[in-house]
C-alpha cells in the first residue's frame, strides 16, 4: 500500500544548530559511492587509453577531479538540514527551467544536439543537474498539497510541473533525461499516496503516447521524434535486421560483454579500447566493465548499485518528515531507473536512450549531480539520527 501522507502540521521542525548532534554519515552509502567511483576510474583507465592520442589518461584524470569535487559537494550538503530547501522550492524550480533554456540558447552544438554549455575546463549539462532540482522542488510542492493528494488536480499539476522541463530537455534532444524527469514525478506521486486510479491512468497514457509517437504518427507522416531517435528506440527489438547501422552499437556491446566471460580479458581487452563500441566511456561503460572484468566485475558493480539503492530506500523509511521521504524516494527512483535502462541497453533488452550509468559513466555533470543526490540522502540520514537521538530513540541502520 502507498505511504499515508503526513500533514504539514505534523512534520517536525528543523533542529536548532546548537542542539543538533554531530552524527556520522551513513557508512554503507559512503562505501557504495566510493566503490563505484573506484570501479569507474579503473574501467576508464583501460577503456579510454586510445581515445585521445598522446594523452591516455585524459578521461581518467578528469573523472578523478569530478569525483573529488562531487565528493566535497556531497559532504557540504550532508551537513546542511535538507528541510531548509523546502522554502526555496519556487526558486529551485525557476533555476531548473532557466538553466535548461540557457543551454538551448547558449549551448554548444555537437552531433546534432545542444546539451551543454562549454566552459574552459568543464561542460555544464543542465539536464543532469535538473534531475536533483526537480526532485527537491516537486517534493516540496507535493508536501504543500499533502491534504489533497488524492485529488486529480494535484496529480495533474505535479505531472505538468515535470513535463515542462522534460519537453525542453527532449528538445535538445536528450530523451533519456526527459524520461528520468517523468519517472521521478511518478515515483513521488506513488510514495506520497496518490490514488491508484490516477497512477493507472498515467501508466496507460504513457503506453498510448509511446505507441502514437513510434508507430501511429510516423505512419501518418508526422515525425514527433527525429528519424534517428525512432531508429535507436526500436532497434533493440530487431538487432540483427540492420547490424551495420541502428543495431551496430548494441551488437558490439554484447560481443564485448560476452568476450569477458567469467573474469574478463584485462589488459588483453580489444573490443572497447579499439573503439568498436562508440561512447564506451559514457553510455556504454558497462560494456567496458564486462569485457575487462567479466561476470565477476559486472556482478561487483551491480552489487554496489544494489547497496546504493537499498540505502536510499532505507533512508526513505528513516526520514523524520514527508519532505525527506519524498526526496529520498525521488533519488532512489532516479538511480533505479538509470541503472536499469543503462545496463539494459548494453545487453540489448532496452532501447538506446542516452541514459548514463550513475557514478560510472564519464562526465562532470553526471558525476557531480549524482553525488549531490547522495548528499541529500546523507543529510536526511543525519537529520533522522539526530531527531531520534534527541527523543531518546534508537534508529537501526
Domain boundaries, the chain: 8-390
Q: What is the pLDDT of residue 273?
A: 83
Q: Rounded CA gap, 179 and 233, in Å? A: 13
In angstroms, the Cα distances linking 357 to 27, 302, 305, 306, 334 are 22, 11, 10, 13, 11
Q: What is the pLDDT of residue 286?
A: 95
Q: What is the pLDDT of residue 278?
A: 85
Q: What is the pLDDT of residue 6?
A: 45
Q: Which residues of the chain have pLDDT under 70?
A: 1-23, 109-113, 120, 215-246, 392-396
Say how many CA atoms lie within 13 Å of 306 toward its Cβ: 6
Radius of gyration for the alpha carbons in the chain, expressed in angstroms and rounded: 21
Crossing angle between the packed helical segments 27-47 and 285-318, to the nearest 10 degrees: 170
Q: What is the pLDDT of residue 19?
A: 46
In angstroms, the Cα distances linking 110 to 113, 118, 166, 228 are 5, 11, 20, 15
Q: What is the pLDDT of residue 179?
A: 93
Q: Which of 225, 354, 209, 377 is nearest to 307 (CA)?
A: 377
Q: Specify the pTM.
A: 0.88
In angstroms, the Cα distances linking 6 to 82, 287, 289, 389 are 17, 43, 43, 21
Q: What is the pLDDT of residue 279?
A: 86
Strands 113-118 vs 108-110: parallel, antiparallel or unpaired: antiparallel
- Confirm if 296 and 263 have CB atoms less than 8 A apart: yes
Amino acid at each position: 500500500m502507498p505511504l499515508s501522507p503526513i500533514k504539514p502540521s505534523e512534520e517536525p521542525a528543523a533542529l536548532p544548530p546548537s542542539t543538533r548532534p554531530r552524527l556520522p554519515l551513513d557508512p554503507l552509502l559512503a562505501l557504495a559511492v566510493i566503490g563505484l567511483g573506484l570501479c569507474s576510474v579503473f574501467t576508464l583507465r583501460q577503456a579510454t587509453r586510445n581515445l585521445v592520442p598522446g594523452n591516455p589518461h585524459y578521461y581518467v584524470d578528469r573523472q578523478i577531479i569530478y569525483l573529488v569535487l562531487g565528493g566535497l559537494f556531497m559532504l557540504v550538503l550532508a551537513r546542511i538540514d535538507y528541510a531548509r530547501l523546502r522554502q526555496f522550492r519556487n526558486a529551485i524550480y525557476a533555476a531548473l527551467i532557466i538553466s535548461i533554456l540557457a543551454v538551448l540558447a547558449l549551448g554548444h552544438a555537437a552531433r546534432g544536439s545542444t546539451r551543454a554549455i562549454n566552459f574552459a575546463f568543464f561542460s555544464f549539462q543542465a539536464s543532469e543537474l535538473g534531475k536533483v532540482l526537480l526532485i527537491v522542488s516537486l517534493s516540496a510542492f507535493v508536501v504543500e498539497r499533502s491534504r489533497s493528494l488524492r485529488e486529480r488536480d494535484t496529480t495533474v499539476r505535479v505531472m505538468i510541473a515535470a513535463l515542462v522541463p522534460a519537453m525542453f530537455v527532449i528538445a535538445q534532444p536528450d530523451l533519456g533525461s526527459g524520461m528520468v524527469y517523468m519517472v521521478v514525478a511518478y515515483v513521488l506521486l506513488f510514495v506520497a499516496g496518490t490514488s491508484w486510479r490516477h497512477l493507472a491512468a498515467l501508466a496507460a497514457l504513457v503506453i498510448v503516447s509511446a505507441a502514437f509517437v513510434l508507430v501511429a504518427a510516423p505512419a501518418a507522416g508526422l515525425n514527433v521524434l527525429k528519424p534517428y531517435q525512432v531508429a535507436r528506440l526500436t532497434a533493440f527489438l530487431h538487432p540483427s535486421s540492420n547490424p551495420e547501422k541502428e543495431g551496430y552499437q548494441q551488437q558490439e556491446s554484447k560481443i564485448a560483454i560476452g568476450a569477458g566471460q567469467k573474469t574478463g580479458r584485462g589488459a588483453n581487452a580489444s573490443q572497447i579500447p579499439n573503439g568498436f563500441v562508440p561512447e564506451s566511456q559514457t553510455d556504454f561503460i558497462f560494456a567496458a566493465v564486462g569485457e575487462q572484468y567479466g561476470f565477476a566485475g559486472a556482478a561487483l558493480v551491480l552489487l554496489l548499485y544494489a547497496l546504493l539503492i537499498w540505502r536510499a530506500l532505507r533512508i526513505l523509511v528513516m526520514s523524520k518528515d514527508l519532505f525527506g521521504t519524498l526526496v529520498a524516494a525521488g533519488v532512489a527512483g532516479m538511480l533505479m531507473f538509470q541503472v536499469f535502462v543503462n545496463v539494459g541497453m548494453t545487453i540489448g533488452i532496452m532501447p538506446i536512450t542516452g541514459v548514463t550509468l550513475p557514478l560510472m559513466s564519464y562526465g562532470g555533470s553526471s558525476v557531480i549531480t549524482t553525488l549531490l543526490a547522495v548528499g541529500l540522502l546523507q543529510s536526511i540520514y543525519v537529520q533522522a539520527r539526530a531527531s531520534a537521538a534527541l527523543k531518546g530513540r534508537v534508529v537501526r541502520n
